[in-house]
Amino acid sequence: MDTSTRSSCSSALSNAVANDAAQELRRIQALLASRGVQQRKHEEAREVTSTRRDLSPPRHSTPQRLRPAVVPPRQTTASSRRAAASASTSVLSGASSNQRPRTASANNARRLQVKIQATLRSSKEMQALLSRQYDLLEEANRQLKTISLQQERQRL
């Protein structure tokens, strides 16, 4: 093998290694970008869903229109008056509707915390992968420089 053939093989090898590394880097960056876009869309959808849940009345409670707000005039017994009074005070206090957003808010905060931790884990994994790819690329570059120096010495 003469020096021109070695030189062309060396440059072809260096180009192939550089192209493979660059392609792998672009693939990883695209993967990270698409993962970020998917996460943002998922988070937005989850926020919309949780907001809807927060605004809707609790499922276990009786709808407002079915609860007696005032005592009907025809009821005269003491027990019926007490029952109507307790029903109207529970409507006015809104105890169950005040507790629901706090619970949903705590759940949303927990979900967000878990999601952040998962994102951190995956970003650390991706960072380790990128670091490994970079190390491999540096090693290939060193090897190419070594080959290039050897070829240069052989020419002289």
Kindly tell me if the per-residue pLDDT of 150 is higher than 50.
yes
CA distance 35 to 38: 5
CA distance 80 to 77: 5
Predicted local distance difference test score (pLDDT) of residue 149:
92
3-state secondary structure of 63: coil
Predicted local distance difference test score (pLDDT) of residue 84:
58
Predicted local distance difference test score (pLDDT) of residue 93:
47
**Sign of dihedral through CA atoms 22, 24, 29, 34?**
positive
CA distance 144 to 36: 35
**Cα separations (Å) of 45 from 40, 78, 97?**
9, 51, 23
This model's pTM is above 0.75: no
pLDDT single digits (tens) 67-119: 555 555 555 566 666 665 555 554 444 445 555 556 777 788 888 888 888 88
Kindly tell me if the per-residue pLDDT of 32 is higher than 70.
yes
Q: How confident is the model at residue 143 (pLDDT cuts 50, 70, 90)?
A: very high
